[in-house]
Homo-oligomer: A and B are copies of this chain.
Amino acid sequence: MTAPVRLAVIGCGRIAQIAHFPALEKADGIELVAVCDPAEDIARAVATRYAVPAAYSDPRQVFDDPTIEAVLVAAPDRFHHTLAADALTAGKHVLVEKPLCSTVEQARELVDLVDRTGLVLQVGAMKRHDAGMQFARRFVTEELGQVRTFTAWYRIGDLRAGIEATLFPRVYADAGVRQVEAGFKADRSRYLLATHGAHIFDTVRYLAGEVTSVVARHRDDGTDQAWQIILITDTGAIGTVSLTVDVPGQPSEGIEVFGSDGTVRVDTHFPFYRRASTVHAYSAGRTVVPELVDGDAYERQAEAFAATVRSGGRPVPDVRDGLAAVDLIDAVAQAAETGREIRC
């Protein structure tokens, strides 16, 4: 058996606490050796809870520690690019929360850096590690035939806050930091499109193919934001994505892909239920529903990252997938603004 990958988490805020630490302490192939957060008390609280030996307040301490092989970047979006770049430069493998970064230029820089260093950079679009999504992907490849049309949706429901209150563990927070971060989400429309779009656009690319152009309409009435998008792929498939924040009721996320020989529907659950997506795959007169129980996509993502670090293969999704997602977010924003079809 190979030695576990010695990993540090940079950024111990909400997403790290609700998603990553519970996953990392159980993940095969990972040894959590350090945490790092500018709020020292939070770093220490988390280190105590998860029995992590080191609690740092400056990423430099992580980069300078030669025993650390890899970092998980879970800091706010605007720091992704710098932290990932610095980590790669320091010779660390990187698992970076989605979106990879904020602009296409930053993404291209990271592509170069990865190519130059030969290190692993995996983007934290963890739904690629959802066992249901992976089943659907195999079905698309092996049984669905030519992809013709698809319909995807990503709707935040107003019941989400209650679900989070139930599912999330106790979170150590710093009121000051929270205030500051809220300010950086001031361009709410762009923030929402990027943070949610990063998921659903990656899913479209994973299951329906490479998107070559988009048409979009955006609605913003102060409370409600919505995008209705038509996407065209390189093989001529046409599909829609509906992205809505909020709708009354339960959150809802999924995609249906219709091919020449089969169809597949993927219903993705709120991730903290730790359930694999429910998949209905139809071909040849019957629908198959896999009963998948290994449902923590964050844990599976970490295990896949560790395996790639050890095996040296291509991570999924990789830095180019991260670039494509950022590109697609840009294209949709521009299409909505101009009313024109935008190539990407």
Contacts and interface: CB of A to CB of B under 8 A. Distances in A.
Interface string A145-167: 00011010101000100110111
Contacts of A295: 163, 166-167
A166 B293 contact: yes
Contact of A294 (B25, B165, B247, B286): B165
A238 B248 contact: no
Given A149-B226, A287-B291, A166 B296 contact: yes
Contacts of A286: 288-291
A290 B162 CA distance: 14
Contacts of A217: 215, 230, 232, 238
Nearest to A22: B169
A151 B148 contact: no
A185 interface: no
A236 interface: yes
B260 A159 contact: no
A215 to B, nearest CB: 6
Nearest to A131: B166
A186 B18 CA distance: 39
Interface in A18-38: 22, 25-26
Interface residues of A, number: 69
Nearest to A243: B149
Copies in the complex: 4
B248 A228 contact: no
Interface in A275-299: 275, 280, 282-283, 285-296, 299
A285 B274 contact: no
Contact of A237 (B48, B159, B219, B248): B219
A162 B282 contact: no
A258 interface: yes
A12 to B, nearest CB: 16
A224 B162 CA distance: 39
Interface of A: 22, 25-26, 48-49, 51, 148-149, 151, 153, 155, 159, 162-163, 165-167, 169-170, 215, 217-219, 221, 223-224, 226, 228-230, 232, 236-240, 242, 244, 247-250, 258-263, 273-275, 280, 282-283, 285-296, 299, 339, 341
Given A48-B51, A228-B238, A289-B289, 13 more contacts: A148-B221, A148-B247, A151-B153, A167-B274, A217-B230, A219-B238, A223-B260, A226-B238, A230-B230, A248-B262, A273-B273, A285-B292, A339-B341
